[in-house]
Structure 1
Amino acid sequence: MIRENISYHSFFIYGLIVLGSNLVIIHYTKKWAYMLLIIMMGIGSVSMQMHPVSKEQFLAGEQVTLKGIIIDEAETAFNQVLILDQVINVQKDKAVALRSKIKVITNYQEDFHLGETVLIQGKVNPLPKQYNPSDFDYGLYLKSQGIVNEVKLQQVIKRWPYKGVLYKIREKVRMQIEYIFKGQDDGLVSALVLGEDGDLNTDIRALYEQLGIAHVLAISGLHMSIIAAGIWWSLGIMGLNYEMRNGISLIGIWSYSIFVGMSVSIIRASIMLTIMLVVRSLWEEEDLLSSLALAALIILIVNPFQLYQVGFQLSFIALLGIAFYQSVYHFIKHECSCAKSVLKVCRILLPSICIGLFISPVIAYHFYEIPLLSVLLNVLLVPIFGLLLPLIFITLLVSTVMPGISFILAYSILGFLGSIKSIGTFLATLPFTTLIIGRPSGLFLILHYSMLCILGFKLKKIWNKRNYYLVGVGSLIILVGILNTEGFMNITHLYVGQGDCTVVTTPKGKTLLIDSGPEQSGKKVENYLKYKGKRQVDLAIVSHPHEDHIGGLLYLIEEGYNVKAVIWQVPDDLKDEYAFRLKKLCEKQKIPLYKGYRGNEVRIDDVCLQVLWPYKDADYSNANEASLVCVLKYGEFEELFTGDIGFATEKYLENDLDDLEILKVPHHGSSYSSSSKFLEKLSVEYGMISAGVRNLYGHPNRLTLERLKEQQIEIMRTDIQGALFVRTDGKQYTVQSQIQEE
């Protein structure tokens, strides 16, 4: 049985820290109300185990017949995706109703519609695993959406059309958007109004993500707040009282939520607004923190896995940032002697700065970088979108009675969107628009938010005793720096599918890349480098110019990632597409490209890379046998990297090798490599095999595995265990894997 080291394990560790902290607080403050938090944490842990998405899972490969209602539909570049709710598992002798949703993947070109009921037959896809620590945890994402399994559609048995008017209204609005904007909006208007991003231009999506403003594209708190405010303001003009305005606003936001599909983010925003409006109606004032706590509790009772969803975290953390702003602004206004002009500037800039302070660590935790322009852009663009959204709604309403005026309004909206695109494209070309910092540690997150909370609640006292506070903050920063200082070399054999890729981090923080996997996995390599907080590759080694070893490096250079130098061994007259591309890219980016021969030695910090093969006059007709073979040395630790060599090259190397700690098994565990004599000569403890899950070549071969076992070499495989991690101080070393076997 396989157990995954998925990311939410770290949250349980933080939970234990919070538990211990609360016990200390209870002991010293005697405020037993803190026990409520501890109890709720315990209930949450149990509810995760008992939740339908944890208990209703099908077996991978199982044939199922399901009946359900289509609540969401999208088209990707490769297939069509349906989300089924109110699912019934139709078995031979009975029908079992599920409380979870099902995701259906189909290549069928059928015209499915929201709201219709379908009876389908399909095959259950394996539950997705997180093979690298930097990979998106797709399995956890599905759970946070209430989806229990992914099913590959094989047959549509029967369909029942949706008889309600909701779908017809959505279709009418969609057609009206197409009619008014003529497809010139890059799919933005449909995303903003209907929450449908299937037609959203991929370049626009990537641009908004890069600039840190992608949140404006999803229907969430901003949209619902604008709708609620618009209704509330309109009713005020009509002279309705406070309670009536709040009540009708609630009806409005929930009606719109139902209209656009009741996605998780929409429900979350609606619940938060509902609680705030109810609190205002009952007590005519708002306790933001209490409202947030109650909203979070309701959402987590429904689905506790929402806790690990980045949208949930950012929504609530951003609102905490608003509460922090209110505290800071109140202090500046009442305790500091500031001119009115200064207060106006504070009202404009402080909200985005405070929100940025709160959300930046969360963004870094999930995406490993911080968009530095996001604070400035949010100050400018959020108000613009706050005006654009009502204008879009007005345009759609006017189009039903006065089409001519609606076209004029549409052109103004397109002008705004085009200006944002042009300015954003220019800003994205500027250097340092994003800062790669890697995933922050749990200790850093705890210290960061603890200090912000202390600052927000005790600002006046801190101001009076600021010297002591600054000393305390400085001491904590130094403590974190000391704890993060390492004297270790870290080696990570990444899972890149059918290919080889190893990332080496020296004790002083330099980065070596030994092969880089296929081009399609280049994003995985880039994400891992960012996860480690690496802004550049100091040295890239290419064992040979096959796509499964060189493709990722091509991707990195083409995407603008900083590569300082490359070592490879390719004949000048070799006519190879990938070798040609790498040469041209290195020339264009002015990256030194060196040839490696036997006897060459490269030293980076205290780490030595010694080239054992090939000779200068070696036969290069077989690229695999001409692979660069290197020994990575740090202190007494040595690991041998072998590229795709076979028996022939192994014979040349047998007399040059001695005892090593780790072997990167040649050629993904091919049957034509790793001879018994070669393995016996090396006398290694671990054999690292990099291969793709269910690859077409059958790697690693059964015979190779048997030869490794005969030499009592412990086999580690990326296709089963995910990324493989080696950590050494030059004397002792440890080996771990992303996915642990139980």
Structure 2
Amino acid sequence: MLRGRRLCKISLLIIITIAFSVYGPWDYLGVYTKANAADCMPEGTQVQAVGMIYHKEIKNDSVLYYVRNATVDSEIGRLSNTSFIFKFNSDEIPNYCKLNIKGKVSHFMTARNDGAFDMNNYYQSMGLYFELSNPEVLGYSCGLLSGKDILYKLSKALDAVYHWALPGEEAGFLSSIAIGNKGDLLGDLKELFQTVGVAHVLAVSGLHVSVVCMSFYKLLRRRGKSFICAGILAGIVAVFYGLLTGGSISSVRAICMFLIFLLADILGEAYDSLTALAVVADFLLLGNPLLVRNGSFIFSFGAILGIWYVALPFSGIYGKYCNERKKLMKSDDGFGKAIKKPIHRVIVEYFVSSFIFSIGIYGAMLPIVTQMYHETPVYSSILNLLILPLMPVLLGLGLLGGFLGLIYLPLGKLILMPCHFVIYIFEMIASMFSKLPNANAIVGHRGIIRIIIYYGLIFVAWRLSELFNSHIDAELINPRTRISYIRRKMLVTMGLFIVVICTWFIPSKQSFEVDILDVGQGDGIYISSQDGVRFFIDGGSTSSDAVGKYTLLPFLKYKGASHIDYWFLSHMDMDHVSGVLELLESGYRIDNIVLSAEIPSDDTLSQLLELCKANGTNVLYMNQGDKCGSRHLSFTCIYPFDGMVSDDINALSLALLMEYDEDGDGTVDYSGFFGGDLGAEQEIAIAQSGNVGHVDLLKVSHHGSRFSSDSEFLSLLSPDVAVISCAKVNRYGHPAAEAVERIEAAAGSIYYTMDSGRVRARVGGVDVFIQESQ
């Protein structure tokens, strides 16, 4: 694998050393020093900073500036050599200028639930440690060239050409793939391409270097330019294009590898892509070790390794098979006579080889993709066959039309007209594939042991392919026997590789757990039974926008929950149902929605029922005493009582008693009570009904309102664990001090989602997503 690659081995050792410091329990290299120093400045600290702007981009009608090598002064002290971002309403401040600015420190949000996007981790991995809010620019100074902001203005001018020549959605798409400008890329279009697994076409990557830089280099060489002259000119174009497109990780990786290729070509040395990849990784990580946690870094470098160690060896087997068939054709027609393949066979071999190559990358990247997104597009290998061949055409026309449009707009529009049809074809194909059954397979989070086993099996399959290739080289007397042998071995090796991929989709064994999510001001409770049936209680928020998209769905994907069997809704307040409505609108599979038989009709209920009908979701109604569940886990409707009516929607909340039987012997091993937004009056009625007693877990009613959590009710339940779900800042004053006092008197321990994030309860105890000491 690494035989003879000394530089590659040294570079790999550096990468491993950095990775252990970043991911391990002991930061022996001090890679988190800058991040920890920035954390010492409390939220809202007034500071003055001096640093260099190295990038800016338009985001949501404002301009996001990136600042590095900054010195930050405040009353607390000085922070040196740090980096941060700030938003401004103007793009007049040039790149690569020295900036003097005042503002308040704002720390990035951290994830509060499993599967949620961690903004703090993302920006730290990019070497950015805080945001400066309410910025006041005191001044800036620029050099002769940096003051003109040439590359940024050129990027804006090209973007303007695209918008003049194409409709807005298509212009944003072309601007993204050609010059790396994602500011005008519509969210729906980006989400569509992510769903079907071809979002990589939106990023500037190795394809761009191949189309732009390598093509330019080869053109110069064909025109008789020397290695040095052609290499220097092509290198300048590569660096220029990288700066123009914003210097993304994938583009920096591709351009640096291209520069190493040029250097090897000039010096007359052999180019080794693995060594180049390792050297570039060292170059990036030594500048920012935390980059090893960055998703773009992992994807970009992982894809090259996947191509080298998986895709190429497996597609090479088919290539060997095709070559042997060609030799057999020659032997049948006469020794040494050139045989031209029929065009249909050339096309078939191309697509089969490309498909095997695509499957190879898919298998190599599968754990990385699912660990990042907890799902994988099923048909991406086929879709890539249809889209990628057109990408060089789209990119070439896009860049040519853009630059010619700067000279003469009508000419640029003429060149860009074919781009309209290519982009339309892309959208049409992607939309068609997104509607296929099981277009996305939700896999969930996998442990490190599962990942090691998977790649171990990939290694075994790879070794078999190596042994297979070496064995084929042994001369077989009969050509037909030889090709028959090759075909059998190829099918066995490919079949083994497909089996390895399929093992990744084997679901992990479920165990009993109750996860009370941090949804802000609202409720969302996920419950998994031992026998594979999944339940959810409520799911909404009034403090978090799109709680279904950004909190509930990522959590469900993390848990590998492709659907929910029973989703209980206590009542129709939006802080309990807004996320459920989002999920139904998105098409997420919910088999059964369970409501109280006494639920009053309103507009929200009508909307819910319409969505259930459109989604094929059953609607079940529970009366007091009804049970719903599985062999090991059941939910009993405790409240409301039959025939109850009330003007207060909270007073008719569905209250459930959960009972878990681990061994199936009829003994309750864990119990919990969930009462929606019940008030003290309803809790007293439940206590007097005699239908409840001691429980292990109490999800506190009405977010800890002072009008709920009655003392008599709490005394009867005497929960071992009580959990309050509410936002840190809310207009209701939840949780109320008097309610907390009553709960503390009755419960063994109390947890708050506003402090702990997600709270998980199991038979063995409770764990929280965010440690309170933090």
TM-score (norm. length: structure 2): 0.83
Distance 1:481 1:184 in 2: 35
Cα distance change of structure 1 residues 708 and 126 upon mapping to structure 2, 3 Å threshold: farther
Distance 2:572 2:93 in 1: 48
Q: Answer yes or no: is 1:526 the counterpart of 2:561.
A: no
1:734 counterpart letter in structure 2? G
Q: 1:139 aligns with which of 92, 113, 120?
A: 120
Distance 2:762 2:259 in 1: 50
Greater shift after overlay, 437-446 or 645-654?
437-446
The structural deviation recorded for 1:320 is 1.5
Q: Answer yes or no: is 1:339 the counterpart of 2:329.
A: no
Distance 2:406 2:416 in 1: 13
- On the 8 A contact 2:704/2:724 being kept in 1, the answer is yes
Q: 1:104 aligns with which of 86, 103, 123?
A: 86
Cα distance change of structure 1 residues 48 and 275 upon mapping to structure 2, 3 Å threshold: farther
The structural deviation recorded for 1:592 is 2.3
Q: Answer yes or no: is 1:365 the counterpart of 2:371.
A: yes
Distance 2:406 2:640 in 1: 74
- What's the RMSD between the two structures over aligned residues? 3.3
Residue in structure 2 matched with residue 20 of structure 1 by the alignment: none
User: Any idea what SS the aligned residue of 1:197 has?
Assistant: coil
Distance 2:399 2:119 in 1: 34
- On the 8 A contact 1:83/1:103 being kept in 2, the answer is yes
User: Any idea what SS the aligned residue of 1:64 has?
Assistant: strand
Q: Answer yes or no: is 1:126 the counterpart of 2:111.
A: no
1:528-564 per-residue CA deviation (whole Å, 9 max, x = no partner) reads 1111111111111011110011111111111101111
Residue in structure 2 matched with residue 587 of structure 1 by the alignment: 613
Cα distance change of structure 1 residues 47 and 611 upon mapping to structure 2, 3 Å threshold: same
Distance 1:536 1:712 in 2: 34
The structural deviation recorded for 1:662 is 0.7
Greater shift after overlay, 190-199 or 336-345?
336-345
Residue in structure 2 matched with residue 8 of structure 1 by the alignment: none
2:772 counterpart letter in structure 1? E
Distance 1:644 1:78 in 2: 39
Cα distance change of structure 1 residues 113 and 586 upon mapping to structure 2, 3 Å threshold: same
Q: 1:53 aligns with which of 35, 40, 44?
A: 35
User: Any idea what SS the aligned residue of 2:221 has?
Assistant: helix
2:529 counterpart letter in structure 1? T
Distance 2:351 2:80 in 1: 54
1:735 counterpart letter in structure 2? V
Distance 1:528 1:169 in 2: 42
Distance 1:476 1:430 in 2: 24
Distance 1:612 1:418 in 2: 55
Residue in structure 1 matched with residue 147 of structure 2 by the alignment: 163
Distance 1:417 1:140 in 2: 34
The answer for unaligned runs of 5 or more in structure 2 is: 1-8, 327-344, 472-487, 662-668
- On the 8 A contact 1:654/1:678 being kept in 2, the answer is yes
- On the 8 A contact 1:513/1:539 being kept in 2, the answer is yes
Q: 1:64 aligns with which of 42, 47, 50?
A: 47
Q: Answer yes or no: is 1:554 the counterpart of 2:589.
A: no
Cα distance change of structure 1 residues 237 and 460 upon mapping to structure 2, 3 Å threshold: closer
Cα distance change of structure 1 residues 40 and 532 upon mapping to structure 2, 3 Å threshold: closer
- On the 8 A contact 1:517/1:552 being kept in 2, the answer is yes
User: Any idea what SS the aligned residue of 1:100 has?
Assistant: strand
- On the 8 A contact 1:543/1:643 being kept in 2, the answer is yes
- On the 8 A contact 1:504/1:513 being kept in 2, the answer is yes
Q: 1:536 aligns with which of 563, 571, 596?
A: 563
Q: 2:766 aligns with which of 725, 730, 735?
A: 735
Residue in structure 1 matched with residue 247 of structure 2 by the alignment: 262
The structural deviation recorded for 1:291 is 2.4
**Where do 1:180-579 residues align within 5 Å?**
180-181=165-166, 183=168, 185-282=170-267, 284-323=269-308, 324-334=310-320, 338-340=324-326, 341=345, 344-401=350-407, 403-461=409-467, 484-486=508-510, 488-518=511-541, 520-523=546-549, 524-569=551-596, 571=598, 574=601, 576-579=602-605
Residue in structure 2 matched with residue 152 of structure 1 by the alignment: 133
The structural deviation recorded for 1:350 is 2.6
Q: 1:172 aligns with which of 145, 157, 161?
A: 157
1:647 counterpart letter in structure 2? A
The structural deviation recorded for 1:483 is 11
Q: Answer yes or no: is 1:704 the counterpart of 2:739.
A: yes
Greater shift after overlay, 283-292 or 383-392?
283-292
- On the 8 A contact 2:548/2:579 being kept in 1, the answer is yes
The structural deviation recorded for 1:445 is 1.4
1:713 counterpart letter in structure 2? G
Q: Answer yes or no: is 1:608 the counterpart of 2:634.
A: yes
- On the 8 A contact 1:48/1:54 being kept in 2, the answer is no
1:88 counterpart letter in structure 2? T
Distance 2:501 2:594 in 1: 38
Distance 1:97 1:665 in 2: 43
Distance 2:369 2:155 in 1: 33
1:343-393 per-residue CA deviation (whole Å, 9 max, x = no partner) reads 544442232121111112211111111112211222222221122112222
- On the 8 A contact 1:122/1:154 being kept in 2, the answer is yes
The structural deviation recorded for 1:682 is 1.0
Residue in structure 1 matched with residue 756 of structure 2 by the alignment: 721
Cα distance change of structure 1 residues 562 and 477 upon mapping to structure 2, 3 Å threshold: closer
Q: Answer yes or no: is 1:651 the counterpart of 2:635.
A: no
Aligned residues with identical type, % of pairs: 24
1:59 counterpart letter in structure 2? P
User: Any idea what SS the aligned residue of 1:88 has?
Assistant: strand
The structural deviation recorded for 1:76 is 4.3
Residue in structure 2 matched with residue 620 of structure 1 by the alignment: 646
Residue in structure 2 matched with residue 640 of structure 1 by the alignment: 673
- On the 8 A contact 2:112/2:769 being kept in 1, the answer is yes
The structural deviation recorded for 1:461 is 3.0
Cα distance change of structure 1 residues 330 and 213 upon mapping to structure 2, 3 Å threshold: closer
Distance 1:34 1:204 in 2: 38
- On the 8 A contact 1:140/1:305 being kept in 2, the answer is no
Greater shift after overlay, 335-344 or 394-403?
335-344
The structural deviation recorded for 1:184 is 6.2
Distance 1:131 1:478 in 2: 32
The structural deviation recorded for 1:723 is 0.6
Cα distance change of structure 1 residues 265 and 32 upon mapping to structure 2, 3 Å threshold: closer
The structural deviation recorded for 1:111 is 4.8
Cα distance change of structure 1 residues 118 and 593 upon mapping to structure 2, 3 Å threshold: same
Distance 2:736 2:770 in 1: 21
1:692 counterpart letter in structure 2? A
| Number of aligned residues | 703
Residue in structure 2 matched with residue 24 of structure 1 by the alignment: none
2:311 counterpart letter in structure 1? Y
- On the 8 A contact 2:758/2:768 being kept in 1, the answer is yes
The answer for unaligned runs of 5 or more in structure 1 is: 1-30
Greater shift after overlay, 42-51 or 553-562?
42-51
1:175 counterpart letter in structure 2? A
The structural deviation recorded for 1:71 is 3.7
Q: Answer yes or no: is 1:676 the counterpart of 2:711.
A: yes
Greater shift after overlay, 339-348 or 286-295?
339-348
1:135 counterpart letter in structure 2? A
Cα distance change of structure 1 residues 692 and 219 upon mapping to structure 2, 3 Å threshold: same
